[in-house]
């Protein structure tokens, strides 16, 4: 059990606290809901206090049983956990985010969620497990009014006390510039892909300067992501020379170097693993043997701008390719 007092915390812009590291729960098509929920059970006992859930991961019901058991057995109190979930893209319509959160809360056996995210900034939906190149004819580019119609419903969930924080995910600076001035309640958290091979410095700095705490997904470079999300050009964060060198110097796994880098940089990594030795070392590494300034510097210079979660399944029929989702020329791609 890792000593709670040693795990650093961040204070969010609304004064609430969140641990500096959490556990991801996306089993993709490789790990069953039972494997993931067993890992959550072990992780609570090891000292994890932040869990990143989502309805689309298809395992909230089993994870809810684990939370309930941990509360009943007195292993942890509800208020000691920070639990997140996300509204999926097919539930952005009028009244739907409330229904989606109600189902998530029922499945997770909770009265409130610590943070509720818009999983993606558009309502584009694809069938689970569909082919990577398939396009849904109903998909469309980002539309500010549509986004805000969903966000304002999350604001109401916040007003009702059902969500203690509301957040966004997979945003870009142009999209944030368009929506932040329109938000009655600003996001306290934003999830984005962050690992040594994809550091998103500009977006990271933008969030920090707007008092929004970044949460980094795929912090290890998601080696077990679905095959449809892999391309021959992908760079492995764990194989970067700077990461390998630090792993050797500290006698630790390169995965753990990625996490130390993340925590020391200031984002909240949410690594996934169903293996106890892995998830224990992932948590423990935040409490001991930090990377040196020169190691941090070497990793920051090794950025390969290599996005792994390209989102190609969300493309609208007229889009050129996945780059269109990420507004790379500085304006929202229509």
- C-alpha to C-alpha distance for 161 and 113, rounded to whole angstroms: 9
By beta-carbon proximity to ligand NAP, the closer residue of 224 and 333 is 224
Cβ pair 42, 279 in contact under 8 A: yes
- Report how far residue 276's alpha carbon sits from residue 329's, in angstroms, rounded to the nearest whole number: 43
- Beta carbons within 8 Å of 203's beta carbon, 6+ residues apart: 171, 172, 173, 192, 214
The verdict on 276 binding ligand NAP (CB under 6 A) reads no
Alpha-carbon distances of 19 from 263, 268, 325, rounded to whole Å = 10, 8, 30
Find the binder of ligand NAP among 153, 165, 170, 287 (CB under 6 A). Answer: 170
Establish if 26 lies at the interface with ligand NAP (CB under 6 A). Answer: yes
How far apart CA 139 and CA 129 sit, in angstroms, is 17
- What x/- string results for residues 185 through 204 when contact with ligand NAP is judged by CB under 6 A? ------x-------------
Say which of 48, 57, 116, 158 is annotated catalytic: 57
Residue 215 near residue 189 (C-beta atoms within 8 A):
yes
The answer to whether the CB of 117 falls within 8 A of the CB of 213 is no
Within 10 angstroms of residue 75's Cβ, the number of other Cβ atoms is 12
Q: Does 260 bind ligand NAP (CB under 6 A)?
A: no
Which of 48, 147, 217, 314 forms a contact with ligand NAP (CB under 6 A)?
217
Nearby residues of 38 by Cβ (< 8 Å), 6 or more positions away: 66, 274
Query: What is the closest distance, in whole angstroms, from the C-beta atom of residue 202 to ligand NAP in the complex?
Result: 19
The verdict on 21 binding ligand NAP (CB under 6 A) reads no
Q: How far apart are the first and last CA of the chain?
A: 50
Closest contact distance (angstroms) between CB of 157 and ligand NAP is: 18
- Return the residue nearest ligand NAP (CB atom): 24
Active site residue 48: no
| Options 75-83, 121-129, 138-146, 221-229: segment touching ligand NAP (CB under 6 A) | 221-229
Closer to ligand NAP by Cβ: residue 89 or 242: 89
Can you tell me which of 76, 278, 322, 333 binds ligand NAP, judged by CB under 6 A?
Answer: 278
Does 32 bind ligand NAP (CB under 6 A)? Our answer is no
In this structure, which long-range contacts are made by residues 247-251, counting pairs with CB atoms below 8 Å and at least 24 apart in sequence? 249/295, 250/289, 250/291
Q: Is residue 311 a contact point for ligand NAP (CB under 6 A)?
A: no
* Rounded-to-integer distance, Cα 43 and Cα 105, Å: 20
The answer to whether 314 contacts ligand NAP (rule: CB under 6 A) is no
Query: Which residue among 253, 300, 303, 333 contacts ligand NAP (CB under 6 A)?
Result: 253
What mask, x for binding ligand NAP by CB under 6 A, covers residues 99 to 138?
Answer: --------------------x-------------------
With CB under 6 A as the contact rule, which of the stretches 11-19, 179-187, 249-257, 286-294 interacts with ligand NAP? 249-257
Q: Which is nearer to ligand NAP, 25 or 242 (CB)?
A: 25
Q: Which stretch binds ligand NAP (CB under 6 A): 42-50, 89-97, 156-164, 268-276?
A: 268-276
User: Hey, how many other C-beta atoms are within 10 angstroms of the C-beta on 246?
Assistant: 25
**Of the candidate residues 13, 32, 224, 333, the single one contacting ligand NAP (CB under 6 A):** 224
- Residues lying near ligand NAP in the complex (CB under 6 A) are found at 24-26, 52, 119, 169-170, 191, 217-225, 253, 255-256, 270-273, 275, 278, 281-282, 309
Q: Which residues are catalytic?
A: 57
């Amino acid at each position: 059990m890792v000593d709670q007092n040693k795990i650093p915390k961040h204070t969010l812009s609304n004064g609430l606290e969140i641990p500096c590291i959490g556990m991801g729960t996306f089993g993709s098509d490789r790990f069953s809901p039972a494997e993931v929920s067993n890992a959550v059970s072990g992780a609570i006992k090891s000292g994890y206090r932040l869990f990143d859930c989502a309805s689309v991961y298809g395992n909230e019901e089993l994870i809810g049983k684990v939370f309930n058991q941990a509360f009943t057995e007195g292993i942890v109190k509800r208020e000691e956990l920070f639990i997140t979930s996300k509204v999926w893209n097919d539930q952005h319509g009028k009244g739907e985010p409330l229904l989606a959160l109600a189902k998530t809360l029922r499945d997770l056996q909770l009265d409130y969620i610590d943070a509720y995210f818009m999983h993606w900034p558009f309502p584009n939906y694809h069938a689970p497990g569909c082919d990577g190149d398939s396009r849904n004819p109903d998909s469309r580019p980002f539309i500010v009014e549509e986004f805000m119609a969903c966000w304002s419903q999350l604001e109401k969930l916040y007003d009702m006390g059902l969500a203690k924080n509301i957040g966004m995910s997979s945003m870009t600076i142009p999209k944030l510039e368009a929506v932040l001035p329109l938000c009655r309640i600003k996001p306290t958290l934003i999830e984005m892909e962050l690992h040594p091979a994809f550091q998103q410095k500009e977006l990271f700095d933008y969030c920090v300067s707007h008092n929004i705490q970044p949460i980094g997904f795929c912090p290890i470079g998601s080696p077990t992501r679905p095959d449809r999300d892999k391309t021959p050009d992908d760079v492995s964060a764990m194989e970067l020379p700077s990461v390998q060198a630090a792993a050797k110097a500290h006698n630790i796994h390169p995965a753990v170097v990625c996490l130390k880098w993340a925590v020391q940089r200031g984002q909240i990594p949410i690594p996934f693993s169903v293996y106890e030795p892995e998830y224990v070392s992932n948590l423990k590494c935040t409490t001991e043997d930090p990377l040196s300034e020169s190691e941090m510097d070497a990793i920051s210079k090794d950025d390969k701008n290599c996005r792994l979660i390209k989102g190609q399944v969300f493309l609208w029929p007229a889009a050129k390719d996945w780059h269109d989702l990420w507004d790379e020329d500085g304006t929202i791609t229509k």
